[in-house]
Amino acid sequence: MGQLRLGDEAPDFTADTTQGSIRFHEWLGDSWGVLFSHPADFTPVCTTELGYTAKLKPEFDQRGVKVIGLSIDPLDSHVEWSKDIEETQGHAPNFPMIADADGTVADLYGMFDQTKADKQTARSVFVIGPDKKIKLMITYPASTGRNFDEILRVIDSLQLTANYKVATPVNWNRGEDVIIGASVTDEEAKEAFPDGWETVKPYLRKVPDPTA
């Protein structure tokens, strides 16, 4: 498979996880999904990321998002690592962790570097829409912990902009003003936003968050 790009279908796979064997697309159902990966178990930065993501589960649930982790180690190792995560972070992973010991799924998603020599590059986050299309992908270096508040923020933007003809500006958070999409004419905007908007520039038109 060639390099994955935004808008591609998220590759389907069958894998063993800490919550049993899953077929990925079937497991996702009609939900949004977050797939995030780890190059190995018992890695320090990943330990903190998994604990924090488990803490955020109510936030993901509220948005209709299913979270799944992946680590390039076997199932029994994931089970042991989960105990450490609970002990050190206060939250055990409360979502499935894929046992991708041979890196098949990581490879399917293009997480490895070009030579496949360096599995440390398997530190990716994919956000997948209910249409199974990839909406966001970010790959982090081993030395930098991921920001899962940012992942939630992007999901808020993706879910809003999937339903309204708007885009979200820099550092936007739920409830803040949004931007009328560049492809929306003023005529169309009058229908979509009958209460009007603020024209900062003809190409920069602000309206309140339509869900606020």
Using N-to-C axis directions, what is the helix angle for 148-163 and 44-55, rounded to 10°?
A: 50
Give the residue with the Cβ less far from ligand BEZ, 45 or 136. 45
Write down the catalytic residue from 46, 73, 100, 156.
Answer: 46
Give the residue with the Cβ less far from ligand BEZ, 11 or 145. 145
Contact letters for ligand BEZ, residues 97-136 (x by CB under 6 A): -----------------------x----------------
Structure token pair of residue 35: 């797939």
The interface with ligand BEZ within residues 131-190 (CB under 6 A) comprises 142
Write down the catalytic residue from 12, 61, 118, 131.
Answer: 131
CB of 74 to ligand BEZ, least distance (A): 17
CA-wise closest residue to 165 among 143, 140, 187, 135: 187
Decide if 131 is catalytic.
Answer: yes
**Angle at alpha carbon of residue 202, lines to 197 and 203, rounded to 5°:** 95
Structure token pair of residue 77: 């190792």
CA-wise closest residue to 37 among 78, 9, 80: 78
Q: Where are the beta strands (DSSP E) in 25-113?
A: 32-38, 65-71, 97-99
Count of residues that bind ligand BEZ according to CB under 6 A: 7
Give the residue with the Cβ less far from ligand BEZ, 67 or 85. 85
The answer to whether 59 and 152 are in contact (CB under 8 A) is: yes
The dihedrals phi and psi of 103, each to the nearest 5 degrees, come to: 75, 20
Give the residue with the Cβ less far from ligand BEZ, 45 or 101. 45
Using N-to-C axis directions, what is the helix angle for 75-89 and 44-55, rounded to 10°?
A: 70
The size of the chain, in residues, is: 212
End-to-end CA gap in the chain: 42
- Residues 6 or more apart in contact with residue 76 via CB below 8 angstroms: none
CB of 142 to ligand BEZ, least distance (A): 3
CB of 15 to ligand BEZ, least distance (A): 20
Decide if 209 is catalytic.
Answer: no
The interface with ligand BEZ within residues 29-88 (CB under 6 A) comprises 39, 43-46
CB of 146 to ligand BEZ, least distance (A): 10
CB of 210 to ligand BEZ, least distance (A): 39
Give the residue with the Cβ less far from ligand BEZ, 125 or 142. 142
By annotation, the residues acting in catalysis are: 46, 131
- For ligand BEZ, the binding residues (CB under 6 A) are 39, 43-46, 120, 142
